[in-house]
A and B are shown apart, each in its own frame.
Chain A
Amino acid sequence: MNRQDLQTIIYAEKAKEQNNKYKHKLCVCCGAGCISSGSEEVLKKLQEEVVTRGLEAEVEVIATGCMGPCNQGPLIKFLPEYTIYQKVDCSNIKEIVQRQLIEKKPIEDLLLFADSRTKPFIDAREDPYYKKQMKIALKNCGHINPERIEDYLVHDGYHALDKVLFQMSPEEVIAEIKQSRMRGRGGAGYPTGLKWETVYKYVSPQKYVICNGDEGDPGAFMDRSVLEGNPHRVLEGMTIAAYAVGATKGFAYIRGEYPLAIKRFELAIKQAKKLGVLGNNILGTEFSFDVEVRIGAGAFVCGEETALIASIEGKRGTPRPRPPFPAESGLWGKPTLINNVETFAGISPIINNGGEWYSDIGTPKSAGTKVFALAGKINYSGLIEVPMGTTLREIVFDIGGGIQGGGEFKAAQTGGPSGGCIPAEYLDVKMDYESLTSLGSIMGSGGLIVMDQSSDMVDVARYFMEFCMDESCGKCVPCRVGTKMMHDLLKKICEEKGTRIDLERLEELAVYVRECSLCGLGASAPNPLLSTLRHFRHEYENRITE
């Protein structure tokens, strides 16, 4: 299929939307969270209800990706009014349809956040939960059917790819990404444009693009929701990257724990190939690019890029020392670009709106928006996207609805087992790469776990250390033995059997493991320990027996 054929399809789809064939669009959230709360049943019942009432000509019911507040699910969103109903039960669907669609009087008690707001908002966009957010990577999640490429096309899908292929040279694409000042969303925050440029500069007949979807942090599900809610966005980002760096083959490495994400991404690849936006001679040009899905087999360390490469090669996922970096010698020894799911999801908006537009969002050193997965003792756990530089207080209290059960905020853990905690006195910290690092935590991939006064910080450190110990690949000594030693010492202190000497040993080991480990897993494994020691040292001291 060439460019004209695709345009024809897009015009036809857009015309269909504009002709306003449907007066109402009912979106049922079918993200993994809502599915487990029974949203598929709700979807079926809702479709039946619409048919029973003979409304199928003016009401369209679709399944969408994640809408955000996962623990309020199942969710139904009524468009164009933007009214969202929460915790929908099959038994109240009849009533919801009657009141919302026929009588036009929404049932306030069932609206989103009705149980915690004094007056819920009929237009959910007015709610601080959504008002404080800014959706770029998640833009179409929750609005479109992720299993239909046409839905994506109507919402400017593959427009950026078209622009890149017909109006821009690879150098110009890289310049645009550099201008956006976007930084890798996988955790380390390496400038994306610079990474692309490095891969572009290596001359090789074969280069690869890899999408890192091995989201292994416990408590993080950003990549999952993007892959499930808008797989085409990621695929488009990968294709643009491939064009820019000169790759012809790509791999999407997705966790085995995410069967729905795998299914939808594979479907997206199939649809994209059929429409000629992926595969040989994309949109009739000379450029060809193919993507394959690789399923992770349960190893956190495979999020580290050299380990991920080993895993795609069918081996043990053990990292190797860098340099050489994958940009020079990656998959099968060829130059390889590895970016995170969320990074790829941010590419097409940058191309469509320009690098300058993106760089104006956020803070001077961290541009754009960041997706966070809120979990723990917070009222509205789920997925949010905010501009960089939003304060932790805004995230926890304005968006997250505060602490569950009226408890007191004690700390938030960012960056999962590689990150650290932020105590209450730093609630006004601006969430960007530098500020979090200066507090001894990291941005990480976006997991944000809120803890209240009942959380025992020594035990939290022990929990994350146990995780790192189990996930250590066992190749280098500091990580293999060091994490085990630190775990045993932490356990001893938790059981109030530790001495002051144990605490000293623990601190010495933590610094040693951080500096000597071969890869990022080992180097960051002591972070939760070091940051709880920094902010909650008295909790350790209190456990020490003299």
Chain B
Amino acid sequence: MKTNTLSTDVELAKTDPRIKLITAKIKKENYKPDALIEILHTAQNAYGYLPMSVLKFITKALHLPPSRVYSTVTFYHFFSLKSKGEHTCLVCTGTACYVKGAQLILNEIEKQFALKPGQVTADNKLGVSVARCIGACGLAPAVVLDEEVHAKVSAEEIVNSINAKIAV
């Protein structure tokens, strides 16, 4: 009935080269459970999200209860349990961007790609998400497309940039 799913997933994870990055970070942090969030950051940077196998690997390495890890991961918005797509489009909805029409950009994206924030296209090409504030308020409205900041963009401009990205 109860199978130890934890260890099988951990074995799986070991075949992934990116796990080395995480192991190095865990070692650097002296296997301290307090460093859980730091280690999750490393994992998220390496994978773009937190696959379950990686979470299980970290849980085992730090000797933490699974529920403690899962509760922490789901508390912070930075961590995602789902892949966000090959290309990511992050629309800032901070106050300045809100005042200057971030919603119009989101509406246009929804119209063009049928994506709401948090969703990914069926072919996993494009994922759209929102940020509470990326701190570039002077450049509102701002959109981060694959790590590049597009400042003072119009809905039309950003749709064109996205099309250029996913066409490749």
Decide whether A and B assemble into one complex.
yes
Interface membership of A357, Cβ < 8 A? no
Is there contact, CB below 8 Å, between A221 and B72? no
Closest to A225 in B: B135
- Closest residue to B99 on the A side, CB-wise? A376
**In the assembly, what is the distance between CA of A375 and CA of B33, in Å?**
40
- Residues from chain A with a CB closer than 8 A to the CB of B136 are 32-33, 36, 70, 221
| Cross-interface CB contact of A298 among B34, B36, B77, B93, cutoff 8 Å | B77
A-contact 0/1 string along B132-157, CB 8 Å cutoff:
11111111101000000101000000
Interface flag for A258 (CB, 8 Å)? yes
Contact of A71 among B71, B93, B95, B139 (CB under 8 A): B139
- CA–CA, A69 to B140, complex, Å? 13
A residues less than 8 Å from B35 (CB atoms): 314
B96/A375 in contact, CB under 8 A:
yes
* Chain B positions within 8 Å of A245 at CB level: none
- Cβ of B99 and Cβ of A218 under 8 Å apart? no
| A257 contacts B34, C-beta separation under 8 Å | no
Interface size on B, residues (CB 8 A): 36
With A376-B95, A447-B95, A449-B96 as known contacts, state yes or no: A221 contacts B41, CB within 8 Å: no
Cβ contact within 8 Å between B139 and A316: no
Among B36, B38, B135, B142, the one with the most A-chain Cβ atoms within 10 Å of its Cβ is: B135
Q: Considering the chains assembled together, what is the distance between the CA atoms of A295 and B38 in angstroms?
A: 7
Please report which residues of chain A, range 298-342, place their CB below 8 angstroms from some CB of chain B when the two chains form the complex. 298-300, 311-318
Whether, in the assembled complex, B162 has its beta carbon less than 8 Å from a beta carbon of chain A, the answer is no
Q: A37, A299, A312, A376: which contacts B76 (Cβ < 8 A)?
A: A299
The interface residues of chain A, by DSSP majority, are classed as loop
Q: Are B78 and A298 in contact (CB under 8 A)?
A: yes
**Docked CA distance A352–B93 (Å):** 41
B138 near A33 with CB under 8 A, answer yes
- Chain B residue nearest to A215 (CB atoms) is B135
B131 at the A interface (CB under 8 A): yes
Number of interface residues of A (CB under 8 A): 51
Residues of B within 8 A of A375 (CB): 95-96, 99, 137-138, 140
Given contacts A313-B34, A449-B96, A463-B98, contact A297 B137 (CB under 8 A): no
User: Bound complex: CA of A89 vs CA of B72, how far in Å?
Assistant: 45
Give min CB distance, B77 to chain A, whole Å.
Answer: 4
> Is there a chain B Cβ closer than 8 Å to A413's Cβ?
yes
- Residues of B close to A215: CB separation below 8 A: 135
| Given contacts A70-B137, A256-B41, A315 and B94 within 8 Å (CB-CB) | no
Contacts of A487 in B (CB 8 A): none
In the complex, B120 has a CB within 8 A of chain A: no
Residues of chain A contacted by B36 (CB below 8 angstroms): 314-315
**Docked-complex contact A36 and B151, CB < 8 angstroms:** yes
Q: For the complex, is A416 an interface residue (Cβ under 8 Å from B)?
A: yes
Asked if B113 lies at the interface with its beta carbon under 8 angstroms from chain A, I say no
In the bound complex, do residue A449 and residue B99 qualify as a contact, i.e. CB atoms below 8 Å apart? yes
Contact residues in B for A299 (Cβ distance below 8 Å)? 75-77
Q: How far is the CA of A71 from the CA of B32 in the complex (A)?
A: 43
Contacts of A221 in B (CB 8 A): 133, 135-137
Q: Are B96 and A297 in contact (CB under 8 A)?
A: no
Complex Cα gap A66–B99 (Å) = 23
Are A315 and B72 interface neighbours, CB within 8 A? yes
B78 touches A218 (CB 8 A): no
Residue among B78, B136, B137, B142 with most chain A CB within 10 A: B137
Starting from the known contacts A70-B139, A315-B72, 5 additional A-B residue pairs (CB-CB under 8 Å) come to A217-B133, A218-B133, A298-B78, A376-B95, A376-B96
**Leading 6 A-B pairs by shortest Cβ distance:** A70-B138, A219-B95, A297-B76, A298-B77, A298-B78, A314-B36
* Interface residues, chain B, with chain A CB atoms under 8 Å away: 32-38, 40-41, 68, 71-72, 75-79, 93-96, 98-99, 131-140, 142, 149, 151
